Amino acid sequence: MSKLLDDEIRSQVRDVLSGMVHPVEIIFFGNQSEPCEYCEDTRQLLEEVTSLSDKLTLQVFDLNKDAVLATQYGVDKTPGFVILGKSADNLDDYGIRYAGIPAGHEFTSLINDILIVSKRDSGLSPETREFLKNLNQKVLLQVFVTPSCPYCPRAVVLAHQMALESPMVEAEMIEAMEFSSLADQFNVSGVPHTVINSGKGEVVGAVPESHLVQKIREALA
């Protein structure tokens, strides 16, 4: 089987991952009972990435055979995976989800998210942290992307930073072409397109923290 990451990229990623602080575990869900065009490639990509640091581990499951676990982690699409903090025998779920292969520019999101989770620090501004600390309603951020979109990683990572910061926030990258019916449901015509609470609000484009915070406020009002 040929490698998805060439030697140069592997070397670059290994260098970046040397900045990891705490262990991280990725839990992947494929689907052996239904067609899943990108499941094998996504699994292979995650295997290659997790092999580049001894602070990274990967567990592989099946959406249907391991339905209880998939439900526990809020995974209902394949390929799908979650990035978890790992400490001793505990796995900490910060609500960071991916639906679809993180290919093209989204590979950057994957690596950035691993680092964020490893450092257990969102890196958000004090104002945004204060807003998230005081959240008393659940927030679901679904960020629709395509691999060729250079602005999408900013939107994905911002949503995942917010999920790391607050237990009330869950954030999912969704590859719009793999899940085109869902993209159509939310009238996604350009990316990045962030859907807030299943259509209560939306943000088109990569925007500053303060703009997304305002849109979340409006969606919760």
Any domain includes 1: no
Nearest in space to 107 (alpha carbons), one of 206, 41, 21, 54: 41
According to DSSP, the residues that pair with 58 across neighbouring strands are: 26
Per-residue pLDDT reduced to its tens digit, 9-66: 999 999 999 999 999 999 999 998 889 999 999 999 999 999 999 999 999 999 999 9
User: Is residue 18 located within the same domain as residue 94?
Assistant: yes
d(Cα 76, Cα 185) in Å, to the nearest integer? 16
pLDDT-above-70 percentage for the chain? 100
Give the pairing type, strands 193-196 and 139-145: antiparallel
Distance of alpha carbon 60 from alpha carbon 189, whole angstroms:
33
Buried b (16+ CB within 10 A) or exposed e, 176-206: bebbeebbeebebeebbbbbbbeeebbbeeb
Concatenated DSSP letters for 87-102?
ETTEEEEEEEEEES--
Asked if residue 171 has pLDDT above 90, the reply is yes
Distance of alpha carbon 52 from alpha carbon 56, whole angstroms: 8
DSSP conformational letter for 190: S
Scan for tokens 């025998």, then name that residue. Answer: 89
Asked if the model's pLDDT at residue 1 lies above 90, the reply is no
Question: Roughly what angle, to the nearest 10 degrees, separates helices 152-165 and 209-220?
Answer: 60
Tell whether 106 and 59 lie within a shared domain. Answer: yes
> Quick check: 147 pLDDT over 90?
yes
Q: Which amino acid is at 6?
A: D
Is 216 among the domain residues?
yes
Is 145 found in the same domain as 53? no
pTM of the model: 0.96
**Arithmetic mean of pLDDT over the chain:** 97
Three-class DSSP category at 171? strand
Structural domain range at position 33: 7-119
Domain identity same for 103 and 133:
no
Identify whether the C-beta of residue 171 lies closer than 8 Å to the C-beta of residue 127.
no
Identify whether residues 20 and 101 lie together within a single domain.
Answer: yes
Contacts of 37 (CB under 8 A, 6+ apart): 178
Split into its structural domains, the chain has a count of 2
Question: CATH number, domain at 114?
Answer: 3.40.30.10
Q: How far is residue 57 from each of residues 19, 70, 96, 201, measured CA to CA in Å?
A: 16, 18, 16, 35
